[in-house]
Amino acid sequence: MSDAVIGFALLVALLVTGWTGKLRDWSYLGAHQNYVVAVFLYVLMFSVIAKVLGAPFDFIGFRLEHQYHLSDQKLRSWLWDECKGWLVSLVLGAIMVEIVYAIIRIAPQRWWIIAWAVFVGLFLLMAQLAPVVLLPIFYKFKPLENDGLRERLTRLGELAGTRVRAIYEWKLSEKSKKANAALTGMGSTRRIILSDTLLEHYSDDEIEAILAHELGHHVHRHILKSILVQVGITFFGFWLVNQVLRFVIARNWFPVLNPRLYDFANLPLIVLVVTILSFLLMPALNAISRRHEREADRYAWENISAIAPFISSMQKLADQNLAEREPSKLVEWLFHSHPSIGKRIAAAESWASEHQPVEAQSLT
């Protein structure tokens, strides 16, 4: 959250003070007037400034995780992760910005539609590559060795007539004591990942309940649906960026910006529009995500033999991750991608009382 506030302040400051023009001029100087290199230098300087301003807050976050015993990661390892994270975001950010400005230069009128089409391709590519290229930069993975669990997943998958057969053990313990599980990838890279912190502390029945939940995401095609939502939002986003750029430049709100759209000094304005849009859409996106989680939970209840391991796995998750069981309504509505643990357990119990009356009685 503090990152977002700092980012926002930085963007506004760059525009209002005209410093973005200075950064642009230095970039051209450093790049010997080469446009593509200058764009990269601008992104590089921007990214260094943002990281330096955000670093104290990142460090406070690191200290807090230790204070609450959520992590015992060493400082050196954490610093190395921070460097890698910064580099990855620099590379991805630079690629996206270069693409956008290259398209603006080639087609200044229709750039936003072309850029949108290119970004759709990038989303699909990233969804495929994430588990095999992106995640391994930060974590180690290996195929799950527990044959019993693999068999259970295969059986669950067969029931659903689906193909997720790959489960990977996710070495999270080096960085965190929290437990986590996820469905990632697309097509041949589709897989369920289970953190070692989870495998260590949960019974096979509990892990099966979690696997069934992740399989629910797969059966309901939640990754594809999220990408489609992103595709729609990105279309609107690029359209909006184009409108705002033209509006602001026509009225000369920031004299430092050149009327030609390919002047990359307007990058803070583009990022500002994107930031505000994502902030405004966050409650809607989180509502979609919570809906997906409820669907995956329901899928799990329907496909495991008893509801009790699901409920006990939820309780363990809440304890291990220090999750707030009953967050305030507003906080949940704004920021939470998952329903609260309290709600998930209550929903499971009420489902069980309708569908598995004997089981539910034994719980109370």
Contacts of 63 (CB under 8 A, 6+ apart): none
Bridge partners (DSSP) listed for residue 168: 143, 193
Is the Cβ–Cβ distance between 190 and 224 less than 8 Å?
A: no
Q: What is the pattern of x (binds Zn ion, CB under 5 A) and - over residues 234-273?
A: ----------------------------------------
CA distances 276 to 4, 103, 273, Å, are 10, 23, 5
Applying CB under 5 A, the site for Zn ion has a residue count of 2
Q: Give the integer Cα–Cα distance in Å for 294 and 347.
A: 9
Nearer to Zn ion among residue 105 and residue 291 (C-beta): 291
CB closer to Zn ion out of 28 and 202 = 202
Neighbours of 223 (CB within 10 A): 18
- Report the residue number, 267 or 314, with the smaller CB distance to Zn ion: 314
Nearest distance from C-beta of residue 289 to Zn ion, angstroms: 9
* Residue 216 C-beta: closest distance to Zn ion, Å: 8
Instruction: Give min distance, CB of 170 to Zn ion, in A.
Output: 15
Least distance from Zn ion to the Cβ atom of residue 317, Å: 11
Per CB under 5 A, contacts with Zn ion among 297-356 are: none
For the CB of residue 293, give the shortest distance to Zn ion in the complex, in Å: 5
**Shortest distance, CB of residue 213 to Zn ion, whole angstroms?**
6
Shorter beta-carbon distance to Zn ion: residue 337 or 362? 337
DSSP code string of 237-261: HHHHHHHHHHHHHHTTSSTTS-SST
Angle 91-96-101 from CA coordinates, rounded to 5°: 125
Q: Are the C-beta atoms of 193 and 182 separated by less than 8 Å?
A: yes
User: Minimum distance from CB of 290 to Zn ion (Å)?
Assistant: 10
The contact pattern for Zn ion, residues 276-295, with x = CB under 5 A and - = no contact, is -----------------x--
> Tokens for 181?
């599980």
Residue 294's contacts (CB-CB under 8 Å, 6 or more residues apart) are 339, 347
Q: How far apart are CA 210 and CA 182, in angstroms?
A: 9
Shortest distance (Å) from residue 160 CB to Zn ion: 16
Rounded to whole angstroms, how far apart are CA atoms 288 and 280? 14
Widest pairwise Cα distance in the chain: 77
Q: Bridge partners of 192?
A: 167, 183
Q: Closer to Zn ion at the Cβ: 51 or 291?
A: 291
Of 68-76, 172-180, 189-197, 296-304: span binding Zn ion (CB under 5 A)? 296-304
Q: Which is nearer to Zn ion, 256 or 296 (CB)?
A: 296
Identify which of residues 226 and 353 has a Cβ nearer to Zn ion in the complex.
226
If the CB atoms of residues 65 and 293 are measured against Zn ion, the closer one turns out to be 293
Q: Which residues on neighbouring strands pair with residue 193, listed in sequence order? A: 168, 182
Under 8 Å between Cβ of 42 and 267: yes
Site for Zn ion, rule CB under 5 A: 293, 296
